């Protein structure tokens, strides 16, 4: 009898652990993040001000796509320029600052800074062909969000 009870308990625990996760289940456990696919496999994730204006956009290649896993997250300079021109047109940027084209290198990361009066965008390149673009509106303050955990604090 005890053996049957243990087997039934294990089966029930396994069934509960393997049940499909619904939108409701995931929303209860994790915050919802909205991204837009600006090109196939390239996502733009916006941040907003308190009055719902875009204050920042990050652009990066999606690693897990409908066609498989893409380990190389590189985007060409031409593609970056095309997407930035679409999301933050030159007519909206204002006059260039002295920092347009400034390149900073820290460890294995290179940052190309492109500052303007109203909008700036940075192109960050990592050591393994990772590339992320961040567009920021200079005169807009993003609403407060919870601080992300430091890398060493994430569960392993």
| pLDDT at residue 43 in the model | 94
Radius of gyration in angstroms for the set of CA atoms belonging to the chain, rounded to a whole number: 22
Buried b (16+ CB within 10 A) or exposed e, 60-82: bbbeeeeeeeeeebebeeebbee
| pLDDT at residue 99 in the model | 75
| pLDDT at residue 152 in the model | 73
Contact 12, 5 (CB under 8 A): no
| pLDDT at residue 133 in the model | 96
| pLDDT at residue 57 in the model | 97
| pLDDT at residue 156 in the model | 61
pLDDT under 50: residue ranges of the chain:
none
| pLDDT at residue 36 in the model | 96
């Amino acid at each position: 009898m005890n053996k049957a009870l243990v087997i039934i308990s294990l089966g029930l625990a396994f069934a509960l652990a393997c049940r499909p996760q619904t939108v409701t289940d995931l929303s209860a456990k994790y915050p919802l993040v909205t991204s837009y696919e600006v090109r196939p496999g390239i996502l733009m994730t916006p941040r907003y001000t308190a009055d719902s204006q875009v204050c920042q956009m990050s652009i990066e290649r999606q690693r897990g796509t409908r066609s498989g896993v893409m380990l190389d997250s590189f985007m060409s300079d031409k593609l970056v320029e095309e997407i930035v021109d679409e999301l933050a047109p030159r007519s909206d940027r204002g006059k260039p600052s002295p920092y347009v084209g400034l390149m900073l290198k820290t460890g294995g990361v290179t940052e190309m800074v492109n500052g303007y009066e109203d909008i700036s965008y940075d192109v960050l390149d990592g050591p393994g062909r990772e590339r992320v673009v961040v567009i920021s509106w200079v005169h807009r303050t993003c609403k407060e969000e919870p601080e992300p955990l430091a890398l060493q604090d994430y569960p392993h």
